[in-house]
Structure 1
Amino acid sequence: MFPQKAKSLFFYLFLVLNFGCKNMQPTAMDPMEMMPTGPDVPRDGMWRSIGPYGIDVTALAVCPSQPNVVMTATNMGEIYKSEDSGQSWRRTANVSIIVHTLAIHPTNPMIAYAGQDFTGVIKTEDGGVTWTTINNGLQFDPFVWSLLIDPANPDVVFAGSFRSLGQGGVYKTTNGGQSWQNSNTGMPDGSVLSMAFHPDSSNVIYAGTFQGTGTIYKSTDSGATWTAMNMGIVGNNIFEIVVDPLQPNTLYAATQTGGVFVSSNGGVNWQQVNTGLGRLDVRALVIDPLNPATLYASGAAGIFKTTNGGQNWQASNNSLTNSVIVKLAIDPSQPDRVYAGAVGTSNVGGRGSFLGGIFVSDNGGNSWQFSSVGLASRDVRAIAIDPQDPFLIYAGTFGRGLFQSTDGGLTWNSAVESINLGLDNPQVLDIEIDPDDNRSLVVATFAGGIYKTDDAGTNWRNVRRGGRFQEIVRDPVSTNILYATAFAEGVLKSTDNGDTWTQTTFSIQRTFPMAIDPVNPSTIYVGVNFPEPDGGVYKSTDGGATWDKKSTGITNSLIRALAVDPQNPNVLFAGSLRTSSVPPGIFKTTDGGENWQKVQTSFEFEPFVILIHPMNSNEIYSSNLEGILKSPDGGVSWQLINDGLISTAVLAMAFDPTNPNIVYAGTRGDAVFRVGFQDTFWEDRSDKEIFQVLRLLNLPKTDEMLDYTRVQEIFKEVAEKPPAQIVPHLLAAGEEWRNGRQQEETLLWWF
């Protein structure tokens, strides 16, 4: 049978030509657009984020003066900003350490403060792009968990810190963070989780503490002194305090073990108001500024709403796909718009795993929408696209398991839809889809071995337990044969579609990349990422039974990437990493590995991935931490093509199997990006030329009339010719096929 990958190659061109004959238009057309295509992708060379989206939210703030501006942060120190009320987000900075709280200047949206562990307070004056540490006066590696900006005098800022190595409590600055003074007199508890101003006087401040008695304190002199206001609320960690803007003596507090408390006398006395509240661990609380009897509370049980000041609560979780809501924020100008920040759970192997991110309600919590486009804090190490259905995409992440899209990347399913049940190791490094049954997948994981599913991820089983597996490749002819590389075990082989695995004779450690000859699939290449004498490229011509080292000309033996030219399998590219004494590089062989020559010499580039365009052998892609390189001339020259990428650390790449001018990239920290390029060949073709090609290249479906070998030869010849000669060559090939037909009236057409 014709090799699967090569077959899909000719089938792609064949459909282009064949379908066009039935509805020929008088104007020139792009055959790419006539075939059964995947997602509609702009062909402008610009990378665009497609997800999967979701982050672990640790901070959330709405800009008081421009409520369409919203900021959020993650446990990894990534700060994101939305300028369209949460419809889309962009990462403005990565400050590396968890951000617990954000506060935006009341009149200048370019100024904001963030509270962190260890570093204390950081400040931006350019809308979040750059951040500066402002810790002068903050003591002993402060953990800042709450921030409060004086609306009357924004240079006055209060920071609530967690007691770690030294003194915690409240710190105050009067000069926008240039210097801080401890402001704790009367507050012995030391760790402050929450703060709030009296709406009529910023001299009056409330602070909620953590540890010890878990007390609420009140200051009437702008933080100089504090008095405990804990009657009825002692012994709870106070996560949030909100004040009724119309009746300032009414306060509400969210606590860890006691639910919601209310005070109607400025904090002197407190009582619980939890009727209907799902759980008593309440992490976030916001109040409607125009109708303050309406409040929203959230925690591990989702979001609850009251419209009568807490007397009764009702669940407000419609369309909320994650119930672990740790942050809430409300639009001060349109209080029916509420933002909820969720934390993703880590139980990837079971049915209890959910995506973190931002949810938005525009109708007062009646329904919610997952609004996290751009919040793509995911390390994607593997991408696989169904060869028969380009809308079916899988992304393997390092730490969050597998994500699946059935609509070309518009939406993604994860463990919340139970596509990871049994995938106990969430660190996915490679994905292989069965070309004959797209419900069957095999994945390689970092430390859990190899897993397989026969039902598109509903259930997984561990078919090779343990070990750090790097790559899985499939024999394109005998598709039940698979090979896998392992960090400590070399090369393994399966002859039953991944159900069982055996060790081959290749057992050198640190075996990373693998490539298979699409025409003679018993020929396999592997790369060893290790110094000499073990490092380099190895080749087997008997399906892994024996191996020979093929590294002549490779000056750096730390091999990280391999690729075989699908048009000419004697051509391979290998990518090596740098050593302390030898630079990295990309090497090329034209004789099946016997001799190699370095082709990327103009600058140093450590390739993680190498891809060869399946229809144009001269078009090569490579990626690493600096972005993506593209060569239009078989590796002679290279250029960076990073336009649109947020993270330039690209760890995985893949072609759309039905349209290789569409390329996918998996990034570190920003999930999957996609780009479309123009098909350069058809740009200059005349209407007459296109019509002739479409008319002549009608192939019958009957296998007896279709010489697969000749088809392969024709398309190889086409790929090697300059554009000006391609059309005449195809015309000659079409004439050859046309003259060879017999009993044409009995033939079944491919489509």
Structure 2
Amino acid sequence: MKKFFAVMAVILFALLATAAFYFPLTTSEAQADFGVDPAEPDMPRIWDRSRSTFGKEDFLKERAEAYAIKRGIIDGNAPDPGARPAAVRKMEQQEIARDLLPPSEAKNALLAAWSPIGPNPIPNGSFPWSGRVIAIAVHPTNPNIVYVGAAQGGLYRSTDGGTNWTALMDNALSLAIGAIAISPSQPETVYVGTGEPNFSSDSFFGVGIYRIDNASTTANISGPFNKNAGNSDIFTGRGIGEIIVHPTNPNVIFAGSTSGLGGIGGAANNVLPSRGIYRSDNAAGASPTFTKMTGLAANTNASIRDLAIDPNDPNILIANAIIGGGTGGIYRSTNALAADPTTATFALVEAFNSTSTSELTAEFTAIHPAANADATFYAATGNLGGRVLRSTNGGATWTQQIDNNFCTPQCFYDIAVAVDPVNADKLYLAGSPTMVIGYSSNAGVSFTNSGSGVHVDSHAIAVAPSDPNTVYLGTDGGIYKSTNAAASFTSLNNSQFFATQFMGVSVHPTDPNFTIGGTQDNGTNYYSPTGTWARVDSGDGGYTVIDQNAADTTNVRMYHTYYNSISGTLAGYATRGTTSASWLFRGCNGSAGNGINCNDTNVLFYAPLESGPGNPNSIYFGTDRLYRSGDTGVTHTVVSQAPIESGVAVSAIGISPQNDNVRIVGLANGGIYGTTTGSLTLTNLDPSNTVPNFFIARAIVDPNNVNTAYVSMSAFGIATVYKTTNLSSGTPTWTLASGSAGNALPLVPASGFIVDPSDSNTLYAGTDIGVYKSANGGATWAPFGTGLPRVAVFDLAITAGSPRKLRIATHGKGMYDISLATAPTVRSPFDFDGDNKTDISIFRPAPGEWWYSKSSNGGNGAVTFGTSSDTLTPVDFTGDGKTDIAFFRPSTGLWYVLRSEDLTFYAFPFGTTGDVPVPADYDGDNKGDAAVFRPTTSTWYISNSGGGTTITGFGAAGDRPVPADYDGDGKADVGIYRPGPGQWWIQRSTAGLVAVQFGQTGDKTVPGDYTGDGKADIAYFRPSTGNWTVLRSEDFSFFAFPFGTTGDVPVPGDYDGDGKADAAIFRPSTSTWYAQRSTAGTLIQAFGQAGDIAVPNLFVR
């Protein structure tokens, strides 16, 4: 949200061709090291501007067009707006089906966990960057509680003023956030509008409005809500420009919807829901519905970029309607709360007349001073280069305050305004590089620029209602904060805030960390061998290449594209030969250079760049033809027709790593051309149009077989991956390689694609909603990994080292890694027969007998081992997949293990009297390790089965040990539960320390992987009520359910072998077991007798 309910911004911008600030460079300067234009940080100084009138607005428009084309939005071809949410729902079903597969190594590999690697944030001195922030909302009484929405990074919450961030909606059907609104009368209720409402074709469309209850604590998420009373979808495919909540009635909200496909300027409106102002009168209910307020203008299908309400008189609603022909502008209603929303009337009170067919937008901010009869509204507009308007009579009339071009030259993209909640003359304004952020103390007559250090391109300002000195700012560089009324700002972009929008990724041939990747508006970034990030070049970063001959991490030949534009006479890329060298431009920068022609008829904004074999690697670059360089870009030769197809840009290049003469080229219109002999005339490889005519996102030649190749497409509603196995035939046959039915890829763009060089049957696809894997050459696909947000994945690469990792570039959440080594084998606890299911089992103290019911065949097993004074410690010490019967003898500190393989035993000393045995697999070798927790010193002693002893101080007097694998890396983590305050402290081996308050004195700790993501969830059983409460490891939300009663003994385990912990209890009064299996229904079985100890209860504390 751009403000609290009374702080709403009105932006107005025109898509007009305006001149930017030009700094001419000579060709020789451009060929040398080049940085950024000081006045235009987005734009690297790489072309001779004296030869071009290409400005910043043209640049942003072409970038927007590039994203639209990349996502299948071509020539008004609007994709099905329901395709993406339908794909997410299908993915959820596929994940369920995957989780139900019987235990196997293949299943384990699919269940490996994704790990974010950043950049979080992008280093930039004392003002680090992240990614585009669109909406901000601040709690009405607590300035430290703030909600932030990113362009494709989802929703974040901070409860401490931005020191720490929590992602709240990573699994939502859309991660594109357009608006956030906090209910003024019920501030624990937050509404989140999806779909980015910017004039930008990389604006992802939305699915409606989510509601979050208990937003500052447990964050219970409902939605998306997108239906009217007739059950018709009125929001999917659109963006939500603004949400306004009634000042005193949390049931009433207003929402403005905009074009969503390809941003607010998207022209494909006929197949999508009608845009406009919608009102809900049951927003706080279980199933909110919306009614369109049809009284707005004659055009009933107009984008509403912003809304404002009089906080004292909510019948007064101000709206910006984007309508051409002089009827767009500011509209006002004085009966917005009419009983029938369709009867509310609106009057045009300030028209925005355009000299072109461009659409115009406005953003508002409002305040109702206590001493005034009417509310004061401000409007910041891009009209005529940037104006500020003011109304002091409740929006009835407007007066221009300034006309200072504050947002030139990109008013259509970034502009924001906010007012001090107690001082109607204190105004905040943000725009383009002319004024990133400024403040006024005289009602907008003049402004002081205060944006030093802040990333350009501002989109949102929010002033804390309870502390006017606290101001939050959202830009293309992330989230910033001022505590002195915008006199200065600090960056809140930190290790917990992921919003970077990557275009591509490339990795080093031998170093597992060394990576470069281009980002939208935040340059090209470098992940060093030490695991730290650096921004190594500016501008809009694109695709990248690292020469695979690099023998060290210093002398590395790297390449990356900037933006490309024939209208800007710019086509080329940058290269450097060492990590400390300057970048050198290769190509046409306004005059001929390096053999790339300035007169090529077409080139994509993000032009494709690829490498081939050889030393140095050959480099290929695509405009409307294919260029090749064998000398690191110093010279280029055209190696295709010129052009391949008239007026059509090359969109993908695939070169065989085995043979530089094997080349395939994909075009933006779906054409596929290639050669297997190095011919300079490429052959049409799909003359019969077997592959649909959509944007070819990737063209890949199998690294182990020159006859096999793949293409993937960026398109909605169609299967997107095709394969040929006879590439060298001259007329290859293409077959669908997207799977079918429940084993198919989702019908959304597959922007990233890679073949595993170690196994040509293993494929990975980066889709609009995540990553899929095929283990059989594309015949079937399944969602790959756990813990990845539903974010678009634009590129993939496989790292060197052991274990190898799949590294992905997401467009909104930075980069992620997942191990391609065999994922940790998930073993069910107390599994005595080796079928990966927990067995019902008891220990009878008097005779020292162990009894277990074999889940594999229904038979029973029994053995005598131990005495009534021993402490039982059954785990799989030998690593054969079966739990070994074992005990620890406190009087001697000896451990005794009965091998499951042959029922022979061994014993060894480890510990002393008073120690608490805590056996588990701490070193990840699939063998249980003897371990003790010493309460007297709060020290852990672990005898690693792989060798060595680990000694760790962790805990305090009275703590209970609760070891488990909380981070999903296959290793048990030390952890304690502190009963008094109900605190859990976990030292995760890969994810660091976590501490949460969850439970109370008297609760029993029952941690386990209840959600099936490979990570143990913090959980407790409350004996007094029989309730189980689980804190999800994915997002730290919780769920609770009753299972059991007073006197029951909790015995958690995986009783159906699906990889998820099941709630279960043993009832001593009847010796009956009850297990609520997640896939096989409730199990009820009598087993045991009075006085028996339930074995699965042994590690419950």
TM-score range, shorter chain: 0.5 to 0.7
Cα 1:340–1:120, aligned 2, differ >3 Å: closer, same or farther?
Answer: same
1:82-133 deviations in whole A, cap 9, x for unaligned?
122664555565669995x543434265562649889999433464752314
Contact 1:79 1:95 in 2 (8 A): no
What is the CA-CA distance between 1:219 and the residue it aligns to?
A: 3.7
Cα 1:587–1:221, aligned 2, differ >3 Å: closer, same or farther?
Answer: closer
Cα 1:451–1:685, aligned 2, differ >3 Å: closer, same or farther?
Answer: same
1:224-259 deviations in whole A, cap 9, x for unaligned?
99899989x999986323214544547252343543
Which residue does the alignment assign to 1:339?
A: 472
What is the CA-CA distance between 1:81 and the residue it aligns to?
A: 1.2
Cα 1:192–1:442, aligned 2, differ >3 Å: closer, same or farther?
Answer: closer
Which residue does the alignment assign to 1:498?
A: 633
The answer to whether the aligner puts 1:418 opposite 2:544 as a matched pair is: no
What is the CA-CA distance between 1:195 and the residue it aligns to?
A: 5.0
**Aligned counterparts of 1:575 and 1:684: Cα–Cα separation in 2:** 38
The answer to whether the aligner puts 1:472 opposite 2:610 as a matched pair is: yes
Cα 1:535–1:179, aligned 2, differ >3 Å: closer, same or farther?
Answer: closer
Cα 1:485–1:162, aligned 2, differ >3 Å: closer, same or farther?
Answer: closer
Letter in 2 for 1:393: T
The answer to whether the aligner puts 1:296 opposite 2:421 as a matched pair is: no
The answer to whether the aligner puts 1:675 opposite 2:818 as a matched pair is: yes
Cα 1:284–1:536, aligned 2, differ >3 Å: closer, same or farther?
Answer: closer
**Aligned counterparts of 1:679 and 1:529: Cα–Cα separation in 2:** 34
| Bigger helix share | 1
Contact 1:70 1:81 in 2 (8 A): yes
Contact 1:193 1:207 in 2 (8 A): no
What is the CA-CA distance between 1:482 and the residue it aligns to?
A: 0.9
**Aligned counterparts of 2:400 and 2:559: Cα–Cα separation in 1:** 52
1:240 is aligned, of 355, 364, 388, to 364
**Aligned counterparts of 1:62 and 1:269: Cα–Cα separation in 2:** 29
2:155 is aligned, of 81, 87, 90, to 81
Letter in 2 for 1:325: S
Contact 1:587 1:600 in 2 (8 A): no
Which residue does the alignment assign to 2:808?
A: 665
The answer to whether the aligner puts 1:46 opposite 2:131 as a matched pair is: no
Letter in 2 for 1:371: N
Contact 1:162 1:169 in 2 (8 A): yes
Contact 1:218 1:229 in 2 (8 A): no
Letter in 2 for 1:431: V
Which residue does the alignment assign to 1:205?
A: 316
Contact 1:560 1:607 in 2 (8 A): no
Contact 2:180 2:190 in 1 (8 A): no
What is the CA-CA distance between 1:320 and the residue it aligns to?
A: 0.8
Contact 1:413 1:419 in 2 (8 A): no
Which residue does the alignment assign to 1:431?
A: 545
* Counterpart secondary structure, 1:516: coil
Q: TM-score, normalised by structure 1?
A: 0.57
Cα 1:461–1:362, aligned 2, differ >3 Å: closer, same or farther?
Answer: farther
* Counterpart secondary structure, 1:413: strand
Which residue does the alignment assign to 1:315?
A: 449
* Counterpart secondary structure, 2:517: strand
1:148 is aligned, of 225, 232, 244, to 244
Which residue does the alignment assign to 2:575?
A: 453
Letter in 2 for 1:287: V
Letter in 1 for 2:437: I
What is the CA-CA distance between 1:367 and the residue it aligns to?
A: 1.3
* Counterpart secondary structure, 2:789: coil
The answer to whether the aligner puts 1:564 opposite 2:703 as a matched pair is: yes
**Aligned counterparts of 2:406 and 2:533: Cα–Cα separation in 1:** 30
**Aligned counterparts of 1:198 and 1:581: Cα–Cα separation in 2:** 47
Contact 2:379 2:388 in 1 (8 A): yes
**Structure 2 residues without counterparts, runs of 5 or longer:** 1-110, 123-128, 199-204, 213-220, 260-268, 284-288, 355-359, 589-593, 727-732, 825-922, 928-943, 949-1101
Cα 1:134–1:60, aligned 2, differ >3 Å: closer, same or farther?
Answer: farther
The answer to whether the aligner puts 1:123 opposite 2:209 as a matched pair is: yes
**Aligned counterparts of 2:945 and 2:303: Cα–Cα separation in 1:** 79
Letter in 2 for 1:299: G
**Aligned counterparts of 1:220 and 1:639: Cα–Cα separation in 2:** 52
Contact 1:197 1:206 in 2 (8 A): yes
The answer to whether the aligner puts 1:105 opposite 2:243 as a matched pair is: no
Contact 1:79 1:94 in 2 (8 A): no
**Aligned counterparts of 1:46 and 1:457: Cα–Cα separation in 2:** 33
* Counterpart secondary structure, 1:328: strand
Cα 1:297–1:562, aligned 2, differ >3 Å: closer, same or farther?
Answer: same
**Aligned counterparts of 2:610 and 2:582: Cα–Cα separation in 1:** 18
Contact 1:622 1:630 in 2 (8 A): yes
What is the CA-CA distance between 1:319 and the residue it aligns to?
A: 2.2
Which residue does the alignment assign to 2:13?
A: none
Contact 1:619 1:634 in 2 (8 A): yes
Counterparts of residues 60-75 of structure 1 (less than 5 Å) = 60-62=136-138, 64=140, 68=145, 70-72=147-149, 74=151
2:482 is aligned, of 356, 361, 372, to 361
Which residue does the alignment assign to 1:385?
A: 507
RMSD value, Cα:
6.6
1:435-492 deviations in whole A, cap 9, x for unaligned?
565465265989876534346546453343447775532444x31x515386976x75
**Aligned counterparts of 2:314 and 2:682: Cα–Cα separation in 1:** 79
Cα 1:84–1:434, aligned 2, differ >3 Å: closer, same or farther?
Answer: same
* Counterpart secondary structure, 1:564: coil
Contact 1:564 1:571 in 2 (8 A): yes
* Counterpart secondary structure, 1:130: strand
Which residue does the alignment assign to 2:620?
A: 484
Q: TM-score, normalised by structure 2?
A: 0.42
Letter in 1 for 2:809: G
**Aligned counterparts of 1:124 and 1:295: Cα–Cα separation in 2:** 30
* Counterpart secondary structure, 1:645: coil
Cα 1:389–1:331, aligned 2, differ >3 Å: closer, same or farther?
Answer: farther
Letter in 2 for 1:418: S
Letter in 2 for 1:472: E
**Aligned counterparts of 1:221 and 1:655: Cα–Cα separation in 2:** 56
Question: How many equivalent pairs are there?
Answer: 589
Contact 1:583 1:604 in 2 (8 A): no
What is the CA-CA distance between 1:629 and the residue it aligns to?
A: 5.7
Which residue does the alignment assign to 1:516?
A: 657
**Identity fraction in percent:** 18
What is the CA-CA distance between 1:153 and the residue it aligns to?
A: 1.7
Which residue does the alignment assign to 1:405?
A: 526
1:254 is aligned, of 379, 385, 390, to 379
Contact 2:247 2:314 in 1 (8 A): no
1:285 is aligned, of 414, 417, 440, to 417
Cα 1:70–1:328, aligned 2, differ >3 Å: closer, same or farther?
Answer: same
1:594-646 deviations in whole A, cap 9, x for unaligned?
xx9x9999956699633446xx6699553243754668999999875332333
* Counterpart secondary structure, 1:48: strand
**Aligned counterparts of 2:653 and 2:545: Cα–Cα separation in 1:** 15
**Aligned counterparts of 2:711 and 2:660: Cα–Cα separation in 1:** 21
**Aligned counterparts of 1:225 and 1:648: Cα–Cα separation in 2:** 39
Contact 2:523 2:538 in 1 (8 A): no
